[in-house]
Amino acid sequence: MTANVTGEAKSSATGGEEWRGELRKRLKTAEELSRILKLTPEELLALRRGTRVPVALTPYYASLIRGSAPDYPLRRAVIPHCGELETSPEEVCDPLGEQQHTPIPDVVHTYSDRLLLLITARCAVYCRFCTRRRLFGRGARRGIDWWPRVLAYLRNHRQIREVILSGGDPLMLNDRLLQRLLRDLRSVPHVELLRLHTRIPAVLPSRVTPALAELLREHQPLWLIHHTVHPDELTPRFAAACSLLAERGIPMGNQTVLLKGINDEPQTMLQLMNGLVRLRVKPYYLHQCDLAPGTSHFRTSVESGIRLIRRMYGRTGSLAVPLFVVDPPGGGGKVPLMPDYVISRKDGVWQLTDHEGRPRVYCEKSSTSNLPDPPGAQ
């Protein structure tokens, strides 16, 4: 296809596009935000100075934080704060080292079997903890030949089994454009799986129309990975969007960034993860907050993340426990971190602890069988 794949395509009469109207009505300035919140000096300072990450709130998300206190988690997730203006020494511009694995602009090939496409730099709502802030404020770099180059790269790399549409938010594209992209990707025979990473159902649920669900279904197997950060985002509107997708057979996962003061309490995290499982969404990743510039006020210790996961096991079904991952700078990919249940191991004897801290032993070999005699044996 030759269309401009930046999400800027202006669709006029595609029908039933309430969400486009909502995008036009987003709150972006201090003045607009003052209509729903009494902004604090820290928030006003950040809005006046300007932040690396744009500011935009859909009317829907604005309704969730209207009149809330300054420390309300959803408010902190989307309203800039002067903490964002500070860069701490450990923070880096490209925290995931993605630029080293970028054969074509906005294409990241870190794992040989998976290709990540930063399909647009736009989002419906901008998260204050965004890890891809390097995408903002740069000029257009993509030529009209970008998409043909992506497809050619894909055809020439037969080890790529899975294509992940990320960004930005791929659901910022209109249905027509999305349809063409997915169809082109599906035309590559070795692409087995498609995946779409999006925060839109949580911040602009009107985007999830029956037409969109049908479009995604046509390109199955296609997994949709939500991005939520707090149980208050699991509203009836979000639930309806999940239900629509689940009814069309779209398998769903979720990723969450661990954020100080937003979701780092075990009760909050349990509520979020249990709520997602009820909505037929499998919690997949819990991310340590990446070292993106201006995010230190959100960052918890790695140790506390591991402790949080340990507390979740045994308190809820394992289906609701995500994998805790840290993505160290340098670009090697994600590293899973698990609580350590091994006390010692020697000669096939494992000294373990269970989720309540009780000692347990597992022997790989024993001189005498610990099985009961089979029935009828003498």
Ligand X SMILES: *Cc1c(COP(=O)(O)O)cnc(C)c1O
The footprint of ligand X (CB under 6 A) covers: 96, 108, 110-111, 114, 116, 164, 334
Q: How many CB atoms lie within 10 A of CB 36?
A: 18
Output 42 or 162, the one with its CB closest to ligand X. 162
Residue 263's φ and ψ, nearest 5 degrees, are -145, 20
Our CB check for ligand X shows the closer of 164 and 270 to be 164
Closest distance of CB 160 from ligand X, Å? 11
Name which of 72 and 285 has its Cβ closer to ligand X: 285
- Least Cβ distance, residue 185 to ligand X (angstroms): 15
Question: C-beta of 111: minimal distance to ligand X in Å?
Answer: 5
Q: What is the 3-state secondary structure (H, E, C) of the chain?
A: CCCCCCCCCCCCCCCCCHHHHHHHCCECCHHHHHCCCCCCHHHHHHHHHCCCCCCCECHHHHHHHCCCCCCCHHHHHHCCCHHHHCCCCCCCCCCCCHHHHCCECCEECCCCCEEEEEEECCCCCCCCCCCCHHHCCCCCCCCCCHHHHHHHHHHHCCCCCEEEEEECCHHHCCHHHHHHHHHHHHCCCCCCEEEEEECHHHHCHHHCCHHHHHHHHHCCCEEEEEECCCHHHCCHHHHHHHHHHHHCCCCEEEEEECCCCCCCCHHHHHHHHHHHHHCCCEEEEEECCCCCCCCHHHCCCHHHHHHHHHHHECCECHHHCCEEEECCCCCCCCEECCCCCEEEEECCEEEEECCCCCEEEEECCCCCCCCCCCCCCC
In the bound complex, what is the minimum distance in angstroms from residue 329's beta carbon to ligand X? 13
**CA 133 to the chain's CA centroid:** 15
Nearer Cβ to ligand X (282/334) = 334
User: What is the closest distance, in whole angstroms, from the C-beta atom of residue 39 to ligand X in the complex?
Assistant: 34
The nearer residue to ligand X, 27 or 117, going by C-beta atoms, is 117
Judged by CB, which is closer to ligand X: 232, or 327? 327
Q: How far is the CB of 365 from ligand X (least distance, A)?
A: 35
- When the beta carbons of 65 and 164 are compared against ligand X, the nearer one is 164
CB of 114 to ligand X, least distance (A): 4
**Comparison of 58 and 255: residue with beta carbon closer to ligand X:** 255
Question: What's the closest the beta carbon of residue 138 comes to ligand X, in angstroms?
Answer: 19
